[in-house]
Amino acid sequence: MKLTFLGHGYVGLVTATIFADLGNTVYVIGHTKEKIDNLKKGILPIYEPGLQELVQKNIKAGRLIFTLDYKPAIPGSDVVFIAVGTPPKPSGEANLSTVFEVAKKIGENLSGYTVISVKSTVPIGTNRKVKEIINNAKANKAEFDVASIPEFLREGSALQDTLNPDRIVIGAESEKARQVIIDLHKSITAPLVLTNLETAEMIKYASNSFLATKISFSNAIAKLSEITGADAIQVLDAIGLDKRIGKEFLQPGAGYGGSCFPKDVKALISIAKSYNYKFSLLEEVENINKQARQDIVKKATKLLDNPEGKIIGIFGLAFKSNTDDMREAPSIDIINALKEKGAKIKAYDPQSMNNAKGLIKDIEFCKNIYEVAKGADLLIVATDWNEFKEADLVKIKNSMRTPLLIDGRNIYSPEKAKEIGFTYIGVGR
Ligand SMILES: NC(=O)c1ccc[n+]([C@@H]2O[C@H](COP(=O)([O-])OP(=O)(O)OC[C@H]3O[C@@H](n4cnc5c(N)ncnc54)[C@H](O)[C@@H]3O)[C@@H](O)[C@H]2O)c1
């Protein structure tokens, strides 16, 4: 098929590249000359394991074409994907201005029959607005249908997730559009959920909000475990063995972050509010998530007595491992709160430091975790990178001024850390 993608971020670039690799001809339309020039050379604006090699392979094969221009891409495309960002407005409501902006331009360039597939996470009713915008913008007799194909990939394992999804949700109005999308996915084996536009839109928000709820539930159990003397890790592992609950996403820690959970929980609260439903469960999910970050700061303040003038080393900045994404990363709130208390911060992250430099000011960025630890009064693990798990803790401890360790992701064994000589504090243990 001939496909076009609007948006070359974590969703757009990954999905475009996978579909190119499966043999389709894929155009990716961007809006920044510098990014598109780089992409043509195989230089990516994001880090995602394995993606660069696959992009370069498909550029070489002539199946992946980057452009700023709608003209060579949209006319004759079988499917046009909208995969641009939908960031939160200050009210929590999703900002749809880019979705609507590109929809208008798509409409102006349509020809033949095209399925417009919205991959961006959008509030209920948005696909119908996209349809209206395209209808108003299109000048000729081009025909189209809109389909809502929400995306569930996870940053850090996005390629595997795209090739092996748990399900493919296809919200479509017409049988013709549904069949085009089914054909496009024929080499990807996964249960198909065939539904209408509104249900597909809701599935995405419900899915992310439920996952965020699991994380906040885990953090609430962790907090209570710390007070009562229970071990939250064992509690959550044990409840996860119940098939009705499931093992995934029951890890307590510094809270959820990233570009999706915080914004999608906020957006669903806001959608509910617009229909006069107070989604108080999700409001509490947000509160517990905020507390999880604050608890790390409280633990640091207590351990150090007073953080003023103390050196605090941070292991990891990205919102989770295997990504360079800093959006809503817990590390930002933790570092800012500790800076406000007068602490000096040193930090290292394997992939996100360039992004972090634009967001966190007046801290020292180090070359590795050993440099972070040198002379530090306290270390805080903010991201669960594998390379941190394999670190030489003896070397780290010996280079610190005082061996205090807050393991905000529970990546180390408390027994081993204590044996080495650390004062160790995890989450919920
Ligand atoms: N990141 C994830 O893990 C993930 C997973 C599932 C769903 N989503 C959803 O998918 C959507 C995209 O998320 P993302 O993480 O890929 O965002 P992103 O910020 O990484 O990418 C957005 C892309 O849109 C491009 N863009 C902005 N304005 C444009 C314009 N006028 N024309 C063309 N391109 C334009 C940007 O350059 C960027 O490449 C969001 O709605 C998000 O909620 C994200």
> Does residue 29's CB lie within 6 angstroms of at least one atom of ligand 1?
yes
- Cβ-count burial of 157 within 10 angstroms (0-12 exposed, 13-18 middle, 19+ buried)? middle
Q: Which of 260, 268, 304, 353 is catalytic?
A: 260
Looking at residues 263-286, what average pLDDT do you find? 97
Q: What is the predicted pLDDT for the residue at 139?
A: 79
The structural domains of the chain, ordered by start, are: 2-195 (3.40.50.720), 196-429 (3.40.50.720)
> Does residue 323's CB lie within 6 angstroms of at least one atom of ligand 1?
no
Q: Whose CA is nearest to atom 7 of ligand 1?
A: 151
Q: Supply the Cα-derived Rg of the chain in whole angstroms.
A: 23
Q: Whose CA is nearest to atom 30 of ligand 1?
A: 31
> Does residue 407's CB lie within 6 angstroms of at least one atom of ligand 1?
no
CA of 85 to the centre of ligand 1 (A): 3
Cα 351 to Cα 367: distance, rounded to the nearest angstrom: 11
> Does residue 16's CB lie within 6 angstroms of at least one atom of ligand 1?
no
2-6 and 25-29 beta bridge pairing: parallel
Looking at residues 256-278, what average pLDDT do you find? 96
CA of 425 to the centre of ligand 1 (A): 37
Q: Whose CA is nearest to atom 21 of ligand 1?
A: 9
Tokens representing 66 are 């980057």
Looking at residues 79-95, what average pLDDT do you find? 96
The yes-or-no answer on residue 260 being catalytic is yes
Which atom belonging to ligand 1 lies closest to the Cα atom of 153? Answer: 5
Give kind and range of the element (H or E) at residue 27. strand 25-29
Which atom belonging to ligand 1 lies closest to the Cα atom of 155? Answer: 3
For 109, residues 6+ apart whose C-beta sits below 8 A from its C-beta are 70, 71, 73, 74, 75
- Per-residue CA distances from 54 to 45, 57, 293 (Å): 14, 5, 36
Residue 288 confidence (pLDDT) above 90: yes
> Does residue 14's CB lie within 6 angstroms of at least one atom of ligand 1?
no
Angle at 203 (CA atoms; ends 201, 207), nearest 5 degrees: 130
pLDDT digits (tens, 9 = 90+) for 145-186: 999 999 999 999 999 999 999 999 999 999 999 999 999 999
Cα 243 to Cα 354: distance, rounded to the nearest angstrom: 41
Tokens representing 156 are 């850090």
CA of 84 to the centre of ligand 1 (A): 4
For 185, residues 6+ apart whose C-beta sits below 8 A from its C-beta are 168, 192
Q: What is the predicted pLDDT for the residue at 332?
A: 98
> Does residue 324's CB lie within 6 angstroms of at least one atom of ligand 1?
no
pLDDT band (50, 70, 90) for residue 205: very high
Is residue 243 within 8 Å of residue 310, measured between CB atoms? no
> Does residue 155's CB lie within 6 angstroms of at least one atom of ligand 1?
yes
The overall average pLDDT reported for the chain is 97
Which atom belonging to ligand 1 lies closest to the Cα atom of 8? Answer: 39
Q: Whose CA is nearest to atom 23 of ligand 1?
A: 7
Looking at residues 219-233, what average pLDDT do you find? 98
Q: What is the predicted pLDDT for the residue at 338?
A: 98
Please report where in the chains the tokens 């929809």 appear, as a residue: 103
CA of 7 to the centre of ligand 1 (A): 6
Looking at residues 248-265, what average pLDDT do you find? 96
Q: What is the predicted pLDDT for the residue at 140?
A: 80
Is residue 168 within 8 Å of residue 148, measured between CB atoms? no
CA of 98 to the centre of ligand 1 (A): 10
Tokens representing 269 are 């609260």
CA of 4 to the centre of ligand 1 (A): 14
- Per-residue CA distances from 340 to 42, 153, 303, 347, 401 (Å): 41, 36, 17, 16, 21
Cα 132 to Cα 307: distance, rounded to the nearest angstrom: 56
pLDDT digits (tens, 9 = 90+) for 26-44: 999 999 999 999 999 999 9
Which atom belonging to ligand 1 lies closest to the Cα atom of 45? Answer: 39
- Per-residue CA distances from 406 to 288, 313, 318, 382 (Å): 19, 10, 17, 9
Nearest residue to 146 (alpha-carbon basis) of 125, 165, 168: 125
> Does residue 257's CB lie within 6 angstroms of at least one atom of ligand 1?
no
Residue 206 confidence (pLDDT) above 90: yes
Which atom belonging to ligand 1 lies closest to the Cα atom of 46? Answer: 20
pLDDT digits (tens, 9 = 90+) for 349-400: 999 999 999 999 999 999 999 999 999 999 999 999 999 999 999 999 999 9
Is residue 235 within 8 Å of residue 225, measured between CB atoms? yes
CA of 120 to the centre of ligand 1 (A): 7
3-state secondary structure (DSSP) of residue 407: strand
> Does residue 48's CB lie within 6 angstroms of at least one atom of ligand 1?
no
- Cβ-count burial of 295 within 10 angstroms (0-12 exposed, 13-18 middle, 19+ buried)? buried
CA of 117 to the centre of ligand 1 (A): 14
Which atom belonging to ligand 1 lies closest to the Cα atom of 101? Answer: 31
